[in-house]
């Protein structure tokens, strides 16, 4: 059975801004959208009252009436993947104008993947167009839920980077996050509240629980070993936090989300649902 054609058509190219730094913007016509993913160099973009200096990983989604990016620096002109999409519908914006793919290596790999696929004559063009559109929608969604499009102060970025690298260490606490950011604990709390709408403890707890969910659904590691791998003080603390935030026990979560047919660590009578 042939795959459904959703009606998208696309052209994929790679653009290098001239060394003069003078780029003529392109205005998007009705029924068209252009997605630009910066891979190298510097580009400037006006967001509200703020002039942002962006680089690799900046993803722009332009719709009818908007202009492509064009402001850059002569000594570091930008390069980008450019995807010109002919859409079956027009009007509503499908994604934010700007998304940041924080993992630069992933952004570069995405650019290479799509360029190679577009120039491969064996690849079905309608399937590729559907995939490209869905993939960029996915990146925009991830940017929204992970808040990577928000621009954080350097002190908050440093604290979050330390959290991501060290969350599995049970001794990591708010005082260490504040130290990593070079600020006081009250200042740290204020930054987390303002930019993330959560306390430092809530963000740390959420990251540890997310890791636990990955280990429960993707490995056969014993549940008793998870607290030490995810940063919890003991099994009781882990169980209490997991049930409070996820709404079920770790064992029930593993039963619900493990691969079909697998029974690692789950009694045969448990089924897929708790």
Per-residue pLDDT reduced to its tens digit, 29-38: 999 999 999 9
How much is the pLDDT for 95?
93
pLDDT band at 149 (very low <50, low <70, confident <90, very high): low
Q: CA-CA distance, 83 to 133, in Å (whole number)?
A: 9
pLDDT band at 148 (very low <50, low <70, confident <90, very high): low
How much is the pLDDT for 264?
47
Alpha helix ranges (H) inside 182-233: 185-196, 200-218, 226-230
> For 20, phi and psi rounded to 5 degrees?
-70, -20
Mean pLDDT for 168-185 is 94
How much is the pLDDT for 272?
32
Rounded to the nearest integer, the mean pLDDT of the chain is 88
Q: Up-side HSE of residue 196: CA atoms within 13 Å toward CB?
A: 21
Q: Is the pLDDT of residue 263 over 60?
A: no
How much is the pLDDT for 257?
85
Q: Is the pLDDT of residue 88 over 90?
A: no
Residue 267: other Cβ atoms inside 10 A: 9
Residue 37 pairs with which residues in a beta bridge? 59, 81
Q: Are 159 and 172 in contact (CB under 8 A)?
A: no
Q: Is the pLDDT of residue 248 over 80?
A: yes
Q: CA-CA distance, 186 to 175, in Å (whole number)?
A: 10
Helix (H) or strand (E) holding 83: strand 79-86
CA angle, residues 250, 252, 257, in degrees to nearest 5: 95
| Domain segments of the chain as ranges | 9-145, 154-270
Structurally, at CATH architecture level, domain 9-145 sits in: Sandwich (2.60)
Q: Is the pLDDT of residue 202 over 80?
A: yes
How much is the pLDDT for 269?
32
Task: List the CATH code of the domain at 154-270.
Answer: 1.10.10.60
Q: Are 178 and 185 in contact (CB under 8 A)?
A: yes
């Amino acid at each position: 059975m042939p795959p459904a054609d959703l009606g998208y058509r696309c052209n994929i190219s790679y653009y290098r801004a001239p060394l003069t730094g003078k780029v003529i913007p392109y205005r998007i016509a009705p029924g068209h959208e252009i997605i630009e993913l910066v891979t190298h160099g510097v580009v400037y973009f006006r967001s509200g009252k703020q002039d942002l200096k962006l680089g690799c990983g900046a993803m722009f989604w332009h719709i009818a009436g908007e202009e492509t990016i064009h402001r850059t620096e002569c000594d570091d002109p930008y390069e980008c993947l450019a995807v010109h999409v002919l859409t079956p519908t027009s009007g509503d914006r499908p994604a934010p104008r700007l998304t940041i793919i924080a993992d630069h290596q992933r952004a570069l790999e995405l650019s290479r993947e799509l360029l190679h696929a577009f120039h491969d004559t064996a690849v079905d063009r309608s399937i590729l167009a559907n995939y490209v559109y869905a993939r960029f929608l996915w990146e925009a969604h991830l940017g929204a839920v992970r808040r990577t499009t928000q621009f954080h102060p350097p002190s908050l970025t440093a604290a979050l980077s330390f959290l991501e690298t060290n969350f599995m260490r049970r001794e990591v606490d708010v005082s260490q996050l504040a130290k990593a950011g070079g600020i006081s604990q009250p200042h740290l709390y204020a930054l987390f509240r303002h930019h993330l709408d959560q306390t430092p403890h809530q963000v740390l707890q959420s990251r540890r629980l997310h890791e636990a969910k990955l280990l429960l659904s993707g490995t056969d590691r014993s549940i008793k070993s998870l607290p030490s791998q995810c940063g919890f003080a003991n099994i009781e603390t882990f169980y209490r936090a997991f049930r409070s935030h996820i709404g079920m026990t770790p064992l029930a979560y593993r039963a619900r989300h493990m691969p079909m047919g697998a029974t690692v660590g789950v009694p045969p009578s448990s089924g897929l649902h708790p």
